[in-house]
Structure 1
Amino acid sequence: MDPLLLKVKKTETDSFSVNHFKYHGSFPGLWHYHSEYELTLIIKSSGTRFVGDHIDRYTENDLIFIGKNLAHTWKTDAALPDTDVFSEALVIHFREDFLGKMFFSTPELAEVEKFLRMSRRGMKIIGQTQTQVISHMYQIGSLSGVEKLIKLLQILSLLAGSEDLMFLSSDGYSQYINENDNDRLNKVHAYIMDSFKSQIRLTDAADIAHMSPTAFSRYFKQRMQKPFSQFVIELKVGYACKLLMQHQFSILQICYECGFQNVSNFNKQFKQYTELSPKQFQLKHKSLRLQASLYQHQVQENL
Structure 2
Amino acid sequence: MGFAESTVFNREITPLTAEDCLLVFDRWKDKFDFPPHFHPEYELNFISHAPGVRRIVGDHISQIGELELVLVGPNLPHCWEQGDCRSAKVREITIQFHRELFDDGLLGRNIMQPIRDLLMRALMGVTFSEDTIKRMQGRIEKLASLSGMDAFMELLSLLFDLSTSRNQQTLSSTTGKHDDFYNNEKIQQVFEFVQKNYMRRIKVEEAAALLHMTEVSFSRLIKQRTGRTFVDFLNDTRIGFASRQLIENNDSISEIAFRCGFNNLANFNRIFKKRKGTTPTLFRSDFAGIRRVN
- What is the TM-score with the length of structure 1 in the denominator? 0.52
Query: What fraction of aligned residue pairs are identical, expressed as a percent?
Result: 24
Gaps of at least 5 residues in structure 2 are 1-6, 180-222, 229-294
Gaps of at least 5 residues in structure 1 are 185-303
Query: Does residue 92 of structure 2 align to residue 89 of structure 1?
Result: yes
Distance 1:58 1:180, change over 3 A: farther
> How far apart, CA to CA, are the structure 1 residues paired with 2:85 and 2:68?
19
1:65-92 Cα shifts (integer Å, max 9, x gaps): 1111111110113677xxx924431011
Match of 1:63 among 61, 66, 69: 69
Match of 1:166 in 2: 169
Which aligned segments of 4 or more residues in structure 1 are displaced greater than 4 angstroms? 11-14, 178-184
Query: Does residue 160 of structure 2 align to residue 154 of structure 1?
Result: no
> How far apart, CA to CA, are the structure 2 residues paired with 1:5 and 1:161?
31
Greater share of helix = 1
User: Where in structure 2 are the equivalents of 1:236-275 lying within 5 Å?
Assistant: none
Whether the 8 Å CA contact 2:42–2:74 is kept in 1: the answer is: yes
Whether the 8 Å CA contact 1:39–1:92 is kept in 2: the answer is: yes
> How far apart, CA to CA, are the structure 1 residues paired with 2:224 and 2:36?
14
Match of 1:133 among 133, 136, 148: 136
- What is the TM-score with the length of structure 2 in the denominator? 0.53
1:105-152 Cα shifts (integer Å, max 9, x gaps): 333212211110111111110043222221210111122222211111
> How far apart, CA to CA, are the structure 2 residues paired with 1:129 and 1:113?
19
Match of 1:45 in 2: 50
Distance 1:53 1:99, change over 3 A: closer
Cα deviation, residue 4, structure 1: 0.8
Shifted more, 69-78 versus 95-104: the winner is 95-104
Whether the 8 Å CA contact 1:4–1:183 is kept in 2: the answer is: no
Q: RCO (CA 8 Å, sep 6+): is it higher in 1 or 2? A: 2
Match of 2:82 in 1: 76
Counterpart AA for 1:177: H
Cα deviation, residue 15, structure 1: 1.3
Distance 1:86 1:180, change over 3 A: farther
> How far apart, CA to CA, are the structure 2 residues paired with 1:116 and 1:12?
20
Distance 1:117 1:26, change over 3 A: same
Shifted more, 138-147 versus 116-125: the winner is 138-147
Whether the 8 Å CA contact 1:121–1:169 is kept in 2: the answer is: yes
Q: RMSD over aligned Cα, in angstroms?
A: 3.1
Distance 1:21 1:106, change over 3 A: same
Match of 2:40 among 21, 35, 41: 35
